[in-house]
């Protein structure tokens, strides 16, 4: 009888997918936090500061994310100047806000859009004339029996 090696000594190559090259993302996604939404806010364009945009977003409830809270992005770029302990890449600042704020903002803008569509529809239908309707309702009738 032939000598057998113990099973622990046998090695088998793992079946791995071959790694594929992918283009790098311009902005990394932070690890999700429960109850928060993230967004990249513009602080400058072509080296020119944009304080109006930053202050508007801060008034909306966005707050800069501290670099110490997300070490996975910390190597990418740490801001300097106005937001020293923040994550800033290419003139964009990583900010977060509670999800309730984003949901309230989305519903506000949805109501605005719905109101505008209702106004456009009402204005358009005001021009409707029964002699020459803007929309012709297509109806078909089915009758049984003898035709005339």
Q: Is the pLDDT of residue 81 over 80?
A: no
H or E element in which residue 96 lies: strand 92-98
Which pLDDT band, with edges at 50, 70 and 90, does 133 fall under? Answer: low
Question: Which token pair is 38?
Answer: 């993230």
Q: Is the pLDDT of residue 138 over 70?
A: no
CA angle 6, 11, 16 (to 5 degrees): 150
In the chain, what is the greatest distance between 2 CA atoms, to the nearest angstrom? 103
pLDDT at position 127, please?
75
Q: Which of 49-58, 111-120, 132-141 has the lowest mean pLDDT?
A: 132-141
Q: Is the pLDDT of residue 143 over 80?
A: no
- C-alpha 135: how far from its chain's center? 37
Top mean pLDDT of 70-74, 90-94, 106-110 is at 106-110
Q: Is the pLDDT of residue 55 over 70?
A: yes
Which pLDDT band, with edges at 50, 70 and 90, does 75 fall under? Answer: low
| Cβ atoms 93, 54 nearer than 8 A | yes
């Amino acid at each position: 009888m032939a000598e057998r090696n113990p099973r622990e000594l046998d090695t088998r190559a793992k079946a791995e997918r071959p790694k594929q090259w992918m283009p790098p993302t311009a902005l990394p996604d932070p690890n999700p936090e429960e109850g928060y939404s993230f967004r990249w806010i513009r602080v400058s364009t072509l080296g020119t500061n944009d304080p109006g945009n930053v202050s508007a977003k801060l008034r909306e409830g966005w707050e800069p994310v501290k670099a110490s809270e997300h070490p996975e992005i910390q190597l990418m770029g740490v801001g300097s100047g106005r937001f020293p302990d923040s994550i800033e890449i290419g003139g964009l600042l990583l900010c977060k806000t509670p999800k309730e704020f984003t949901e309230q903002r989305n519903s506000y803008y949805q109501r605005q859009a719905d109101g505008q569509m209702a106004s456009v529809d009402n204005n358009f239908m005001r021009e409707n004339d029964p002699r020459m309707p803007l929309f012709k309702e297509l109806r078909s009738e089915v009758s049984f029996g003898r035709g005339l």
